[in-house]
Chain A
Amino acid sequence: MTRKQRRLYIVGGFMLIFASAAALVLMAFEENIVFFYSPSELAQKSEQQPIPPGRRLRIGGLVEEGSVQRDADGVTITFRVTDTVEVLPVRFRGLLPDLFREGQGIVAEGTLAMNGTFVATEVLAKHDETYMPKEVAEALKKAGQWQGDDE
């Protein structure tokens, strides 16, 4: 085998692997990119073009004071997330993160149910008292309500 032939094999192999990887990446991107919306953006989006149920989303905002309720089964929790303009009801079954509090910023991942409730599979509150999730801070800034120091 000559050097040229070897190079041909290597380049051929590389193209093959690279092409399959590119196909995988494109397929995965199509299905698995998760967009982040604030409650206002979500309301806006739903008006323009309803988000198909089952599509994974991330939402974020402040947990509205007095909105946290525990269902009779004890492990399902409902609360409302707000960016001070729009309000989004959220349902979550699971253990809330240690830093989940009313009035705190959170980010949740899940899907939008037909009745407009956001069914979260994961709720994140940053492990830091002073922390405001970046997306939430920006969403609040957009809503004109964020008083914190500018980064």
Chain B
Amino acid sequence: MTAELGHYALVLALSVALVQATIPLLGAWRGDPGWVGLARPAALVQCFLVTVAFGALMYAYVTSDFSVLNVASNSHSAKPLLYKISGVWGNHEGSLLLWLLILVLFGAAVAAFGGNLPAPFRARVLAVQAMIAVGFLTFVLFTSNPFERLLPAPLDGNGLNPLLQDPGLAFHPPFLYLGYVGFSMAFSFAVAALIEGRVDAAWARWVRPWTLAAWCFLTLGIALGSWWAYYELGWGGWWFWDPVENASFMPWLAGTALLHSSIVVEKRDSLKNWTVLLAILTFSLSLLGTFLVRSGVLTSVHAFATDPARGVFILAFLIVVIAGSLTLYAVRAPAMKGGGIFSPVSREGGLVLNNLLLSTACATVLLGTLYPLFLDAVTGDKITVGPPFFNMTFGPLMVPVFIAMAVGPMLPWKRGDLLGAVQRLKFAIAAAVAALLLTLVLAYDGPWLAIPGIALGVWVIAAALEEAAHRLRLFRVPIAESMRRLMRSPRAAWGTTFAHAGAGMVIIGVVASSSWQVEKLQVLRQGESVAVGAYEFKFEGATPVAGPNYGAVRGTFRVSRNGAEVAVMQPESRSYQDPPMETTEAAIRTGWGGDLYAVIGDPTGDGSWSTRFYNKPMIHWIWTGALLMVFGGLFSLSDRRHRVGAPARRGRMAKTVKTAASMAGK
């Protein structure tokens, strides 16, 4: 019964979305307040209906209702509750429903909290949002219905892929989707602005919080995914440049660029065309990511769908969205004149450089991801473009980003003095040089690229701190005065400080862990030990253990350093029953200096076991840095400028005058 209710709610949601996609748009065009006013309740009703559908599917999962095909093929009664719930989105149909749920939640958020948007503009935004919903609802209803019945119902289900039965992965898809779909807001705002033919500072101020929120979620989602790969796959790698990872990384790069370019639109009324284009491209890349992952053109853990009809549908939808919005852009954009003029050396200039580099980097990732598909389609040659390609292209493009990232925030708007800015960064320069020399002394035997790498990370962190110190006028005015400035300075500026410092931490984590990792592959008997860098791992034996829905072999290793015991590590090798599958559970011990990582493999037959150990210095900085970036984003999001009063679009003239005045004051 609940399944039918869910299905029915989806059908109703489709009809509501169709109304919401057309009537408010016509209303805004004809100036009919009644039709315009329809957008808000429609968005709320649509959100309610999709929530009902999602709730119905979740109910079927929690109660293990195997008469629903989707539950029968992806769940099992013996699964822990958390994984019954996360199983809802651990499959193609359910994950699309989650996508849809997040889409309508964002729509409802605009309807509920977008009180400061002019009614016609809000109606247009919601209409565009509903068009996307129509596409996805049609897709779900016609090609991927999660509520299909299976009669007679089987006694038990097939179970969820054990690799996905993991807390890290239970939350990875929702956050990733919150990010992906969050960029639909930037897209809807951009398309609505194109329809209206007006992009101004107020527009940027409306778009920014949505983009920022989406960016935070996406960053968190990517970080969770890479953390999961690190501890679950047992290879100790955290990023493989796998096409599926790239699919989430491309919108992140474009979204990061969008975040920065919208600052210029907000503050300086410039770069409008580019920002609107970037908003369209960012969401297009999110859709492309969904297509790549869900259509089955790529084979990976993520590719659930192998039904070609689905791939064709998403591809068609992708083409309609991208071609449609770009056509609109081509027609409307030339009419939008940019405002403020700036010299290449200025805050705007720095942000432009950021945008150029990030979008070029994004393009190289796109090329590397799509080229194998293209070649396969054209010549039938099977190739892979692996990590070396991306390290060679993406890496060098990021170096100038990180160098400029430190200087940019020190430059004033309009016209800056590069030499002056660099002089004001003397502490950061000293720190970077010190790091360079220190690394050179400590790691004189290379790899030589690691040395400037570490210095670059230190440079970014130190510059972020130094910029904050300048803001507080620390040590140049009395401490009390600095404290007063601390309380008064805008949170958005602090967000920048945190996020930039986080990026610096990621650099250091990446460079250190990949340069100075120690790996040991060894067959061990009980009582034998092996040295991994400064640590000694002693094998105490392997014992069978039983989990809730799996059996496992657990190895015990005593780890010591200079004779003193530092840890007992117990990696497992698990065998699941439903579906039958084996997984590796690495044991990881995180200390200040980095991670120790132990894996137990197969018995070799004569009483010994194959084992693998790593010592990965500073690898936890990668995720700590990512979290700091997210924190920076959230902190900036709490800036009062994003909430109160500011977004109201005042009279055009008044606003222009006011912006000019506020700029003069800065």
**Interface, chain A (partner B; CB < 8 A):** 1-3, 6, 9-10, 13-14, 17-18, 20-21, 24-25, 27-29, 31-36, 56, 58, 70, 73-75, 93-96, 98-99, 109, 126-129, 131, 133-135, 138, 151
**In the complex, are the beta carbons of B341 and A24 less than 8 A apart?**
no
B338 touches A3 (CB 8 A): yes
Chain A neighbourhood of B343, CB < 8 A: 1, 6
Contacts of A99 in B (CB 8 A): 581-582
Beyond contacts A31-B388, A96-B602: 9 other A-B pairs, Cβ-Cβ < 8 A, are: A1-B341, A32-B388, A34-B383, A34-B385, A75-B610, A95-B601, A98-B581, A131-B299, A133-B299
Q: Is the CB of B521 within 8 A of A127?
A: no
Question: Which residues of the partner chain B approach A58 to less than 8 Å between Cβ atoms?
Answer: 382, 384
In the complex, the chain B residue whose C-beta lies closest to that of A9 is B344
Q: Mark B336-371, 1 if CB is under 8 A from A, else 0.
A: 001001111000010011001100110110011001
User: Given A126-B299, A127-B301, do A135 and B382 touch, yes or no (CB 8 Å)?
Assistant: yes
B interface vs A, CB < 8 Å?
161, 163, 234, 299, 301, 306, 308, 338, 341-344, 349, 352-353, 356-357, 360-361, 363-364, 367-368, 371, 381-386, 388-389, 392-393, 396-397, 521-523, 573, 579-584, 599, 601-602, 604-605, 608, 610, 612
Contact of A17 with B396 at beta-carbon distance under 8 Å, contacts A93-B521, A96-B602 already known = no
CB pair B161–A36 under 8 Å, yes or no, is no
Q: Is the beta-carbon distance between A128 and B161 smaller than 8 angstroms?
A: yes
Q: Is the interface of B mostly helix, strand, loop or mixed?
A: mixed
Q: What are the residues of chain A within 8 A of B306 when measuring CB–CB?
A: 151
Please, which residues of chain B bring their CB within 8 A of the CB of A129? 579-581
Complex partner residue of A27 from B299, B382, B392, B523, CB under 8 angstroms: B392
Given A14-B356, A24-B393, A151-B306, CB of A32 within 8 Å of CB of B386: yes
Q: Is the CB of B342 within 8 A of A1?
A: yes
Q: Which residues of A contact B368 (CB under 8 A)?
A: 25
The chain B residue with its CB closest to the CB of A36 is B382
- Sort A-B residue pairs by CB-CB distance and give the 4 closest, nearest first: A74-B523, A36-B382, A98-B582, A28-B392
Contacts of B342 in A (CB 8 A): 1, 6
Alpha-carbon distance A21/B523, docked complex (angstroms): 45
Bound Cα distance A1, B352 (Å): 16
Known: A1-B342, A21-B360, A75-B522. A70 touches B604 (CB 8 A): yes
**A94 cross-chain contacts in B, Cβ below 8 A:** 521, 612
Nearest B residue to A138 via CB reads B382
Known contacts A74-B608, A95-B599, A127-B163, A21 near B364 by CB under 8 Å = yes
| C-alpha gap A82/B467 in the complex (Å) | 61
The listed residue (A1, A24, A35, A109) touching B396 by CB distance below 8 A is A24
User: Given the complex of chains A and B, what is the CA–CA distance between A5 and B271 in angstroms?
Assistant: 15
Instruction: List the A side residues contacting B580 at CB < 8 Å.
Output: 129
Q: Residue among A1, A31, A98, A131 with the most chain B CB within 10 A?
A: A98
Partner of A75, one of B361, B382, B523, B583: B523
Chain B contacts of A95 at CB under 8 A? 234, 521, 599, 601-602, 610, 612
14 pairs, CB–CB < 8 Å, chain A vs chain B: A6-B344, A13-B353, A21-B393, A24-B392, A24-B397, A25-B364, A29-B371, A29-B385, A29-B389, A32-B388, A33-B383, A58-B384, A98-B582, A135-B382
Residues of A within 8 A of B386 (CB): 32, 34, 56, 109
Specify which chain A residues have a CB less than 8 angstroms from the CB of B397 in the assembled complex. Answer: 17, 20-21, 24
